[in-house]
Amino acid sequence: MNGSNAPAGPGVPALLPLLGADEEVVAFFAGVADLDATDPAGHELEDGVRLASGARLEQFARAASGDAFCFVGEGGEERPVVYVSLDGEAGPLSVGLPELVRLFLAVPWWQDAPGRTAEELRAVADEYREDMPDLDRRRDRAARALGLDPAGLPSEAVALARLVELARGPVAAACLVVGYEGDPLAPLFGAAPDRP
């Protein structure tokens, strides 16, 4: 992985190995939040997909659809994380893997959030809970396996606001992804959803 498994800092355990190996964590992230990091060597971006800046774009996980989760630039888990969709969309999700983990624990249904109103987002969250009555228990078990206190996770509203903030700020400019034809991919969060 060329640096993505580098230590996260003094006293902070690396998260990526846990995302790919810990049973509770994999059950939540791959099974609920659609982030599968169980086979890092098997993840490869489509030819020609790159950052406009020329910085490194390193895929470390995938969604069931084949969409990519990528680190930006050089370093370890502190690097920005970008999502690259096979549908021609891309954008930053977090500044570092620890932030991504917290956001996905708070809103594992984040992919359904772009362009939705607060009422529609509430319906999506309710549907997730209906389909998965043990969602909160699974989230809490995954959080604890990662060394996180579930009570310290961001609220759904804060997590969604952060995704929109990243899509519109300087991180988005630094993380602009272009496709194989050289055109920028559409932003993930073009318009801010109403906040629940």
Query: Mean pLDDT in runs of 10 for the chain (196 residues)?
Result: 39 79 93 90 80 93 92 95 93 96 94 78 86 92 95 92 88 92 86 41
pLDDT at 71: 95
Is position 188 within any domain? no
Task: Give the whole-angstrom CA distance, residue 75 versus residue 27.
Answer: 27
pLDDT at 172: 92
pLDDT at 194: 41
Is position 8 within any domain? no
pLDDT at 106: 95
pLDDT at 45: 81
pLDDT at 3: 38
Parent domain of 165: 16-179
Is position 3 within any domain? no
In 3D, which of 99, 48, 52, 90 has the Cα closest to residue 70?
90
**Tens of pLDDT along 65-83?**
889 999 999 999 999 999 9
Is position 196 within any domain? no
Mode of pairing for the β-strands spanning 177-178 and 50-51 = antiparallel
Is position 187 within any domain? no
User: pTM for the complete prediction?
Assistant: 0.86
Angle (deg, nearest 10), helices 135-145 and 118-131: 90
Is position 96 within any domain? yes
Contact assessment for residue 108 and residue 139, using Cβ atoms and an 8 Å cutoff: yes
Task: Give the whole-angstrom CA distance, residue 180 versus residue 21.
Answer: 32
pLDDT at 24: 92
Is position 42 within any domain? yes
